[in-house]
Amino acid sequence: MSHNSGAHGDAGATKQNNAASTDASLNARAKSPRGGKPKGWLISLISVLVVVAVIIGVTMYFNGKTASDAGAGDAGANGASQTADTVTVGIKLAPVNLDIRHQSGSALEQLLIGNVYEGLVSRDSDNKVQPGLAKSWEISADGLTYTFHLNENMNFSNGDALDADDVAWSINELKAQKYYNYDQVKNLDKAEAVDADTVKITLSAPDSNMLWYLSGRPGLVFDKDAQYDAKTSAVGSGPYDVVSFDASDKLVLKANDKYWGADHKAKTPNVVVRFLPDDNAAVNALKSGDVQVLSPITATLAKPFQSDPEHYTVAANDGSDKFVLAFNVANPKLADQRVRQAIRYGIDHAQIIASRGGVDAALGGPIPSVDPGYEDLTNLYPHDADKAKALMAEAGYTADKPLQLTLTYANVYGTELGDQLRSQLKEIGIDLKINYVEFSTWLQDVHTNGDYELSLVDHAESHDFYKWATPSYYYHYDNKQVQDLYAKALAATTDAEADDYLRQAARIVSEDAPADWLFGYRVTVAMAKGVDGFPSRLSQSVLPLYSVTYRK
One-character DSSP codes across 123-157: E-TTS-EEESSEEEEEE-TTS-EEEEEEPSSEE-T
Q: Is 423 helix (H, G, I), strand (E, B) or coil?
A: helix
Q: Is residue 178 part of a domain?
A: yes
Range of the domain at 141: 95-219
pTM: 0.79
pLDDT at 539: 79
Task: Answer yes or no: do 399 and 457 share one domain.
Answer: yes
pLDDT tens digits, residue range 416-464?
999 999 999 999 999 999 999 998 899 999 999 999 999 999 998 899 9
Residue 311, domain CATH = 3.40.190.10
Task: Answer yes or no: do 184 and 100 share one domain.
Answer: yes
pLDDT at 23: 58
Q: Is residue 423 part of a domain?
A: yes
Do 467 and 375 contact (CB within 8 A), yes or no? Answer: no
Task: Answer yes or no: do 373 and 488 share one domain.
Answer: yes
To which H or E segment does residue 89 belong? strand 86-91
Task: Answer yes or no: do 324 and 467 share one domain.
Answer: yes
Q: Is residue 424 part of a domain?
A: yes
Beta strand 403-410 with 523-528 is unpaired
Number of structural domains the chain divides into: 3
Q: Is residue 336 part of a domain?
A: yes
| Domain end point (choices 219, 249, 281) | 219
Alpha-carbon separation of residue 444 from 94, 405, 410, 514 (angstroms): 22, 20, 11, 21
pLDDT tens digits, residue range 325-379?
999 999 999 999 999 999 999 999 999 999 998 999 999 999 999 999 999 999 9
Q: Is residue 74 part of a domain?
A: no
Instruction: Report the distance separating Cα 272 and Cα 289, nearest Å.
Output: 13
Task: Answer yes or no: do 371 and 500 share one domain.
Answer: yes
Task: Answer yes or no: do 466 and 507 share one domain.
Answer: yes
* Burial of 431 per CB tally in 10 Å (0-12, 13-18, 19+): middle
Q: Is residue 234 part of a domain?
A: no
Residue 206, domain CATH = 3.90.76.10
> Could you count the other beta carbons within 10 Å of the beta carbon of residue 411?
15
Task: Answer yes or no: do 491 and 542 share one domain.
Answer: no
Task: Answer yes or no: do 431 and 482 share one domain.
Answer: yes
Task: Answer yes or no: do 457 and 538 share one domain.
Answer: no
Virtual torsion, Cα 123, 124, 129, 133, nearest 10 deg = -60
pLDDT at 537: 81
Cα 503-215-231 angle, rounded to 5 deg = 130
- Residues with Cβ < 8 Å from 163, sequence gap 6 or more? 150, 154, 193, 196, 197
Task: Answer yes or no: do 307 and 355 share one domain.
Answer: no
The closest of 397, 399, 395 to 336, measured between CA atoms, is: 395
Residue type present at position 251: L
> Could you count the other beta carbons within 10 Å of the beta carbon of residue 36?
5
Task: Answer yes or no: do 428 and 507 share one domain.
Answer: yes
To which H or E segment does residue 313 belong? strand 312-317
Task: Answer yes or no: do 483 and 378 share one domain.
Answer: yes
For residue 435, the cross-strand partners are: 408
DSSP 8-state code for residue 83: B
Do 190 and 205 contact (CB within 8 A), yes or no? Answer: no
Q: Is residue 398 part of a domain?
A: yes
Beta strand 531-532 with 430-437 is unpaired
The closest of 211, 251, 214, 215 to 234, measured between CA atoms, is: 251
Residue 374, domain CATH = 3.10.105.10
Do 397 and 414 contact (CB within 8 A), yes or no? Answer: no
The closest of 107, 131, 152, 164 to 6, measured between CA atoms, is: 131
Please identify every stretch of the chain with a pLDDT value under 50, giving residue numbers as ranges: 1-7, 9-22, 25-78
Q: Is residue 89 part of a domain?
A: no
